[in-house]
Amino acid sequence: MTLTIGVDIGGTKVAAGVVDPSGAVIAQARRDTPADDPAVLRDTIVEVVRELSAAHEVEAVGIGAAGWIDQTRSVVLFAPNIAWRDEPLREYVAAATGLPVVVENDANAAAWAEFRYGAARDADDSMVMLTIGTGVGGGIVLGGGLVRGAHGIAAELGHMSMIPAGQLCGCGRQGCLEQYASGNALVRFAQQGAKDEPQRASGLLELAGGEVSAITGPMVTVAAHAGDEVAREAFATLGRWLGVGLADLVQVLDPQVLVVGGGVVDAGDLLLAPARAAYQEALAQRGRSPIAPVVPAELGNPAGMIGAADLARLR
């Protein structure tokens, strides 16, 4: 049985796992992410790989990192939240561990895991995944393979422009999908609603100690499940934007299935019902052919690790 290691480099944790060919994680190692020191971060990755490969016979390493990865899957060109610029990560980790290494964008790795083992495992050709976290990440599979683009920056789906001259985005543009369909957007909608109509946000405000500015994403989820009107509307607004974004993606790519991942998916139909409605309405004008279903991701946080490990196996 071929085992590989997947390493997921998050903003706060480096999570590594030994993954078998069925996608099961059979051992794990974790460290805090030293995000401001590229040299220490490199060595942290080497350390977790050595720890796992000492106990298990592994044949390769896949690393998922938030950032732009070059076409040869070896260099992190730019990482927004980590101090990496043109980082030759593959060469460094391969030399230090003696194992073959592939580097992949983290959202691509998570999408690949859902395609192979998760919500899209019944699809054999194509899927698009949107991951709703603090921002919005994306991954595209076409013809049974990940779409990386000519310059390694494909599938930055969170930065599709939804509204000209809309909300300012961290990428420097305005009106990106990320500003309307992310966890940050959910909090913004909920805070605005609680400010405008505090009497309809009593449950949410109670959780936040009465402070609109103290409202967090998890509070919106809890309050929405408990029936708070403003919290439910925040999810409905997020869902509508998500649905419009999904419809646009279908116009371009027509995949077999659309997967929605990230923490907010725990809200279930509070998010997915308005998303599906907006998606179907946007596509209703385009004829009656069957369209891709919108399904929640199944693998959760380990998806990045599992996908990176599988890509290393298939390298």
Residues that bind Zn ion (CB under 5 A): 159, 169, 171, 173, 176
Task: Rank residues 80 and 145 by Cβ distance to Zn ion and give the closer one.
Answer: 80
Task: Rank residues 156 and 233 by Cβ distance to Zn ion and give the closer one.
Answer: 156
Task: Rank residues 61 and 176 by Cβ distance to Zn ion and give the closer one.
Answer: 176
19, 106, 135, 239, 241 from 171: Cα distances, Å:
34, 18, 11, 22, 19
State in angstroms the smallest separation of the CB of 178 from Zn ion.
5
Strands annotated E in 90-240: 101-105, 127-132, 136-142, 145-146
Q: Cα(235)–Cα(54) distance, rounded to whole angstroms?
A: 46
Task: Rank residues 169 and 204 by Cβ distance to Zn ion and give the closer one.
Answer: 169
State in angstroms the smallest separation of the CB of 106 from Zn ion.
17
State in angstroms the smallest separation of the CB of 173 from Zn ion.
5
State in angstroms the smallest separation of the CB of 169 from Zn ion.
3
State both tokens at 114: 């859902």
State in angstroms the smallest separation of the CB of 181 from Zn ion.
12
Task: Rank residues 102 and 176 by Cβ distance to Zn ion and give the closer one.
Answer: 176
- Report the candidate in 85, 41, 81 with the shortest Cα–Cα distance to residue 63: 41
User: Residue 112 corresponds to which amino acid?
Assistant: W
Task: Rank residues 16 and 136 by Cβ distance to Zn ion and give the closer one.
Answer: 136
Q: Cα(141)–Cα(2) distance, rounded to whole angstroms?
A: 24
Structural contact between residues 24 and 6, judged by C-beta atoms closer than 8 angstroms? no
State in angstroms the smallest separation of the CB of 69 from Zn ion.
19
Q: Cα(302)–Cα(51) distance, rounded to whole angstroms?
A: 18
Beta bridge partners of 28: 17
- Burial of residue 50 (CB within 10 Å: 0-12, 13-18, 19+) is middle
The residue to which tokens 């929605």 are assigned? 260
State in angstroms the smallest separation of the CB of 179 from Zn ion.
7
Structural contact between residues 159 and 177, judged by C-beta atoms closer than 8 angstroms? yes
Task: Rank residues 172 and 290 by Cβ distance to Zn ion and give the closer one.
Answer: 172
